[in-house]
Amino acid sequence: MAGEHLQGVKLWEKLGAVVVSVDYRLAPEYPAPVRDCYGALVWLAEQSKALGFDPARLGAYGGSAGGGLALTAALRVRDLEGPERCFVLAASPMLDDHNETASSRELDNLRPIRDRTKNLEAWSWYLGGQEADPYAASSRAQDLSGLPPIFIDVGELDLFRDEDVASTLPKLHVYPGALHASEHLAPTAGLSPRMVGTRLKSLPRGLYGVEQGAGAPVVPRGCLLKGRRAT
């Protein structure tokens, strides 16, 4: 277990929840990363009593590649009839290996910003020469029914904008003028606290269905699985 932070906020204090960071394997180990995330969810559900949380309040949170993993793990949970899962938050998730949308072509040669060249390289490393399937790129999934409530946000100038909007998932926020991970690149910019604040509000709503402050939850304790990094 880890007291993971989001822009200086201790998530375990904010949520009154168990927060677990999954140390998933990195490229080029596909399909190991999504299997690691799914395995972590199964293990958490099995250990819910020992860890002291309600297994019906198990959520996942990830950004960028981690957001993509949170969504593909949700697909795997559904298809394998895995543990009940109540919420997913995917921040600027990486969903589509095709890289054919307008937004995927708008930005290039803008290091250190995530641009087209870096994204093509990332997908190449991640897949390791294998053909993508819905567990690698959730944009390939034909059926999104049966998934838990999902919150997605993305910036207007993020190369992932169009693939995230095309997901057609109902809880979608698009932030004008924001780049990929701009809340980390420019944490003091006016928009950054708004982006982080919206996520912090969505997490307790997703886990508990209520507004949540610091301290003990007003309903049985939840658990949030958090990716270890945004890429």
Beta strand segments in the chain, E = 5-6, 9-10, 18-22, 58-63, 87-91, 150-155, 171-175, 223-227
Locate the domains of the chain by residue range: 5-208+221-227
Q: Who has greater pLDDT, 27 or 119?
A: 119
Tell whether pTM > 0.75.
yes
Give the residue from 66, 75, 9 showing the smallest Cα distance to 38. 75
Q: For the segment 192-207, what is each residue's pLDDT rounded down to a tens digit? A: 999 999 998 999 889 8
Q: What is the secondary structure of 94-114 as a DSSP string?
A: ---SS--SHHHHH--S-TTS-
Q: Which residues contact 205 (CB under 8 A, 6 or more apart)?
A: 211, 212
Residue 216 clears pLDDT 60, i.e. is over it: no
Give the residue from 27, 36, 92, 33 showing the smallest Cα distance to 64. 92
Structural fold of domain 5-208+221-227: Rossmann fold (3.40.50)
Q: Who has greater pLDDT, 165 or 110?
A: 165
Q: Averaged over 135-149, what is the pLDDT?
A: 92
Residue 26 clears pLDDT 70, i.e. is over it: yes
Share of the chain above pLDDT 70, in %: 89
